[in-house]
Amino acid sequence: MPLKTRTNLIHILRNVLLVRGQDVSSSEAMTLRPSEMQDEILDAFVAMTNERFGRDPSGVMEGTDTLEEIAVAIQRSPQISRPVLRRVMRPVKRPARRVVMIPGLHGCSLGFSRLANFVPDDGEVVAWEHPGLDESGPVPRTIDEIADTIASIEIERGADCPLELLGYCIGGLIAHEVSHRLLDAGFDVSRLLLIDAHTARAMREAGLSRRLQVLGPIELAKARFKGVIEHRLVRIGVSQLKAVFNHVDRRVDVDVSVVRTGGELAFGPLELETWSDVARSVELIRIPDVGHVELFRGRHEHRLERLLAG
């Protein structure tokens, strides 16, 4: 089963339903069948899947009736366009701020759909995909390459308002590096919001290299047999983890808010001291009763509303 692809499809379907007033969890979305969807919802799901993967799923969906079956079938669909990298979740004509969101490992911009609704109405919300899904281009090999891609486009788009960068999991490390480039370009970066995110040094100290040496080749080999999209998604994740080995954390003159959910984190302990050497100031917000994955899958984004209010 191409699990990474399926997770992306879950995010897509949840977004399609959310904008139509239907707020479902990931587990609820898994039970929905395309054959039972209204035409409007199915058409929107197909269109957004095309945007995400650059592939039209409609030609391979005949005979499929679950998201798992679609995740398998879409691997056979040829890429016909470049996957969308930057998604404007909420456009605002004259925003008071722009919140730029970067997902976690193997994540998807649409995983932030519910969270975007908790940003005050005067804030524009932009969410990013991890670069590398376009099969005509390379998979980035360094954190700097990823940050260069995101920062260059944000700089090109310009901003007449302060920017806030939000990163989840490894997206926090990327957001931290993007902030350097935006500041160097003269942008006003008002703060960093990092959810269960570690510095590169902290990940290395937690033994990331040992786990990756064992699991990386295994995961890549398994993904190769699950289809071209799945293999590409796994390659992106493994490349990001490898990039952590050589990445040097640099201090940024920005205030950082770190959110620590409950339960054990794969990248080790996360405390105030994790980020204190590489930020102007750090505050730690604990949400001990919600797990790392459940924060988004279980519809607990409202726990971040106060933080997003500024």
| Segments in the chain forming alpha helices (H) | 3-18, 26-30, 39-53, 67-73, 113-116, 143-157, 170-184, 200-205, 208-224, 228-244, 272-276, 294-297, 305-308
Residue 37 covered by a domain:
yes
User: What are φ and ψ of residue 277, in 5° steps?
Assistant: -80, -10
Whether 63 and 112 map to the same domain: the answer is: no
Percent of the chain at pLDDT > 90 equals 79
The answer, yes or no, to whether residue 225 has pLDDT greater than 90, is no
Domain end residue (candidates: 46, 76, 106): 76
Is residue 231 in a domain? no
DSSP three-state, residue 44: helix
The predicted model gives 186-208 an average pLDDT of 93
Number of domains, the chain: 2
| H or E stretch covering 167 | strand 163-168
Mean pLDDT over residues 44-57, rounded? 96
Q: Which of 110, 126, 138, 119 is nearest to 47 (CA)?
A: 110
pLDDT value of residue 210: 67
Q: Do 250 and 293 belong together in one domain?
A: yes
In this prediction, residue 223 carries a pLDDT of: 84
Are 20 and 48 found together in one domain?
yes
Residue 221 lies in a domain: no
Question: 229 lies in a domain?
Answer: no
How would residue 37 be classed by pLDDT, with cut points 50, 70 and 90?
Answer: confident
Residues 200, 131, single domain; the answer is: yes
Q: Give the domain-ending residue among 54, 76, 98.
A: 76
Q: Are residues 161 and 41 in the same domain?
A: no
Residues 18 and 149 placed together within one structural domain of the fold: no
Question: What pLDDT, in 10s, does the model give residues 254-273?
Answer: 999 999 999 888 888 889 89
Do 72 and 129 lie in one domain? The reply is no
Residue 215 lies in a domain: no
Q: Which two tokens stand for residue 171?
A: 């997206």
Residue type for position 210: R
- b/e code 197-223 from CB counts within 10 Å (16+ = b): bbbbebbbebebeeebeeebeebeeeb
Length of the chain: 310
Same-domain status, 150 and 276: yes
Residue 213: which pLDDT band, with cuts at 50, 70 and 90?
A: low
pLDDT tier for residue 33 given thresholds of 50, 70 and 90: confident
Both 161 and 205 in a single domain? yes
Are 202 and 176 in contact by the 8 Å Cβ rule? The answer is no
Residues 179 and 300 reside in one and the same domain: yes
pLDDT of residue 59: 85
Averaged pLDDT for residues 6-32: 93
Mean pLDDT of 280-306: 94
- Please report whether residue 291 resides in a domain: yes
Whether 264 and 153 map to the same domain: the answer is yes
Cβ atoms of residues 290 and 301 within 8 Å: no
Average pLDDT in the chain: 93
Highest mean pLDDT among 63-67, 151-155, 222-226: 151-155
Q: Which domain covers residue 61, as residue numbers?
A: 3-76
**Of 52, 76, 100, the domain-final residue:** 76
pLDDT at 219: 84
